[in-house]
Amino acid sequence: MKIAVDAMGGDYAPKEVVEGIELARDAYPDVEFQLFGQTDQIKKYLKNDDHIQIMQADEVIEMGDEPVKAVRTKKQSSIVLAATAVKEGTADAFFSAGNTGAILAAGLFIVGRIKGIDRPGLTTTLPVIAEKDQDKFVMIDVG
């Protein structure tokens, strides 16, 4: 599996994103990661590039940007390029901690919908206070 990642999205990006991807890579050695973002910024924090490919993105969609306008005008942004990788089949999945509206807009306008699905869902992982073998679960919000 190959996962496209918006390395420039979220608080403290790209540092926290790169550190998280390195942890995920170590936990899931069969997964390949494509980090979309500003190469020089990503390389500052990347300790080991095994199974990690850096994909240059010259633009960043900021948290305060109007989502649809940003997706339509910032064609070289990390969110748009990562979503395009999924559409073109060079990645199997995409995730970002960036501008939620822009992520949804990129999903709808670039990747497209699955037949029969009207709205995208948002997921999050939450901790569980229960079974010893289960410490978290994934919740989806479909509006």
27-63 pLDDT, tens digit per residue, is 999 999 999 999 999 999 999 999 999 999 999 999 9
Place 122 in a pLDDT band, splitting at 50, 70 and 90: confident
Q: Cβ distance 67 to 104 under 8 Å?
A: yes
Instruction: State what percent of residues in the chain have pLDDT above 90.
Output: 80
Q: Report yes or no on 130 lying in a domain.
A: no
**Left, alpha or beta for 111 (phi > 0: left; psi -120 to 50: alpha)?**
alpha
Q: Does residue 128 lie within any of the structural domains?
A: no
40: domain CATH number is 3.40.718.10
pTM recorded for the entire structure: 0.89
132 domain residue, yes or no = no
Report the DSSP beta bridge partners of residue 46. Answer: none
Mean pLDDT, residues 108-116:
92
Least confident of 6-10, 15-19, 57-61, 124-128: 124-128
Number of folded domains that form the chain: 1
Residue ranges making up the domain that contains 65: 2-116
